[in-house]
């Protein structure tokens, strides 16, 4: 089940939720922390808040020796609503420390109903963010977001860091972009992405119209404060549908990200429940796509990139939950940040990704026993994964056109099955029934990499296909790995992964 950012809004007015919020407001921190820290479905080494709801990565930036990640956060409950920018810092993109909330809604201001997504840049060396603020429209015609329940006006707001640790921010009182271009009846107007181009700043916004489809709007400025609309960077095509939320039909493209990669440019957009990539040429401030695909076919949305300390293009994404809203409230937490992925292009201009090597420091060798060390399959099946925290890397040679890797307990209890089909009529990846077409020609051997962390399973095939699954099963025994008889295991590596904190909680709430 895909839960969009907006669909959960309907919960906000429910009586049961009000009772939950009231209970949490008066609850002591220690019982809550004990409950969360002992939850086996909570990840050990992915970034997530100590409790409550998180979604989109916002404004990731490397600044003065530290990585700063901001993200959408509800400090009051484990469901969407009351959007703030939470803040976490890291020396390596893996070990995170939660900081105080960076930016919150200002009563009576243009972001009074929520601090939505945006970007961070350095203006004369000072970190500056531009984000979308939402508030009730003064007039119905001013509304830019209609999702079937709420009617909001989206404007683009700005804040400037006041300290080197990026903990204090000063907002510019008025929006820097107050309305969509005149004459456009937009289906959305949000999620700015900003970059420097020569002596000017450039900015794009996710948008669309019912009669023209999804659209990315392009602006320019000399000072980050006064923006001039140019034209659409690129447009889609109308769906002909009229759902309450235009994102569901593809008539609204949200969370755009645009950047050079190799000798091409890449545009990321989020729509219809998936992050889509487009690779092409950027000339005369217009983008023409030559190739396109899906970043991740599983539970993955609202992707955002940054440059690391070495100049690599790093991709982040929100891993949503796929269980019921009732389960989210009962668990007390929702949402996970993906592991950092390094981006590159293949010779066919396909987007490639691999988990950043910084994650290697978490590896701890497993105790693998075998009578015949050269029998990789037998050695693999002798290992045991404990605590739902592991990385597996395999080279498989399919002898029958299909390969499968099953994770399950010794007693036969299933946990997850990864199937790679390389037959001519079914070239795909399947994880627990969720499928993804494999990019490119069938490759032999297959390179398969799995990152298991609590209820999160990130799967990569040949660096060009990824699928993030959510698995809400708690095995009664350590997991074992079994490869089907039709595949030859050419090589494999397996590691237990070290938690990034002693109790999976790094917030001051639990200290």
Q: What are the residue numbers of the active site?
A: 56
Rounded to whole angstroms, the Cα distance separating 85 from 131 reads 10
Say which residues have a Cβ less than 8 Å from residue 269's Cβ, sequence separation at least 6.
206, 214, 216, 253, 254, 255, 256, 275, 276, 278
Q: Under a CB-based contact definition with an 8 Å cutoff, are residues 193 and 257 in contact?
A: yes
280: three-class secondary structure by DSSP: strand
Distances (CA, A) of 147 to 37, 109, 299: 35, 21, 21
Q: Quick one: which H or E segment has residue 53?
A: strand 52-63
Phi-psi region of 228 (alpha: psi -120 to 50; beta: other; left: phi over 0): beta
DSSP conformation class of 385: B
Secondary structure of 64-106 as H, E, C letters = CCEEEEEEEEECCCCCCCCCEEEEEEECCCCCCEECCCCECCC
83 within 8 A of 73, measured Cβ to Cβ: yes
Beta strands, E only, 165-227: 169-171, 190-197, 200-209, 213-221
């Amino acid at each position: 089940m895909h839960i969009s950012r907006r669909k959960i809004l309907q919960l906000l007015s429910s009586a049961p939720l009000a009772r939950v919020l009231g209970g949490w407001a008066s609850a002591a921190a220690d019982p809550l922390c004990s409950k969360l820290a002992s939850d086996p479905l909570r990840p050990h080494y992915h970034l997530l808040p100590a409790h409550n709801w998180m979604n989109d990565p916002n404004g990731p930036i490397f600044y003065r020796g530290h990585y700063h990640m901001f993200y959408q956060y509800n400090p009051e409950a484990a469901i969407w609503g009351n959007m703030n920018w939470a803040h976490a810092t890291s020396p390596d993109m893996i070990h995170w420390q939660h900081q105080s909330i960076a930016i919150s809604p200002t009563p009576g201001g243009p972001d009074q109903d929520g601090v939505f997504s945006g970007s961070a840049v350095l203006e004369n060396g000072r970190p500056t963010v531009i984000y979308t603020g939402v508030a009730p429209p003064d007039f119905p015609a001013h509304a830019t977001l209609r999702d079937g329940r709420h009617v909001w006006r989206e404007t683009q707001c700005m804040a400037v860091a006041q300290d080197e640790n990026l903990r204090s921010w000063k907002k510019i009182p008025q929006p820097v972009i107050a309305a969509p271009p005149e004459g456009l009846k937009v289906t959305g107007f949000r999620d700015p992405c900003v970059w420097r181009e020569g002596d000017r700043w450039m900015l794009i916004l996710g948008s669309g119209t019912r009669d023209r489809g999804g659209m990315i709007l392009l602006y320019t400025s000399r000072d980050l404060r006064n923006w001039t609309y140019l034209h659409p960077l690129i447009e889609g095509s109308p769906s002909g549908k009229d759902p309450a939320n235009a994102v569901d039909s593809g008539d609204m493209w949200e969370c755009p990200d645009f950047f050079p990669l190799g000798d091409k440019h890449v545009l990321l957009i989020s729509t219809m429940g998936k992050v889509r990539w487009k690779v092409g040429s950027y000339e005369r401030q217009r983008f023409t796509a030559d190739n396109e695909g899906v970043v991740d076919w599983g539970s993955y949305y609202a992707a955002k990139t940054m440059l690391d300390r070495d100049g690599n293009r790093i991709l982040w994404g929100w891993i949503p939950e796929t269980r019921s809203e009732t389960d989210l409230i009962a668990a007390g937490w929702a949402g996970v940040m993906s592991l950092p992925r390094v981006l590159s292009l293949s010779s066919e201009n396909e987007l490639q990704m691999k988990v950043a090597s910084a994650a290697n420091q978490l590896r701890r060798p497993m105790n693998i026993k075998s009578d015949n060390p050269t029998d990789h399959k037998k050695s693999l099946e002798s290992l045991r994964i404990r605590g739902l925290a592991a990385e597996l890397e395999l080279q498989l040679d399919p002898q029958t056109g299909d390969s499968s890797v099953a994770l399950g307990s010794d007693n036969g209890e299933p946990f997850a099955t990864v199937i790679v089909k390389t037959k001519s009529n079914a070239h795909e990846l399947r994880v627990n029934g969720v499928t993804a077409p494999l990019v490119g020609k069938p490759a032999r051997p297959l390179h398969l990499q799995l990152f298991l962390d609590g209820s999160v399973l990130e799967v990569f095939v040949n660096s060009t296909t990824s699928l993030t699954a959510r698995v809400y099963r708690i095995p009664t025994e350590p997991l074992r790995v079994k490869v089907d008889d039709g595949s030859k295991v050419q090589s494999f590596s397996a590691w237990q992964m070290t938690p990034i904190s002693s109790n999976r909680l790094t917030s001051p709430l639990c200290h």
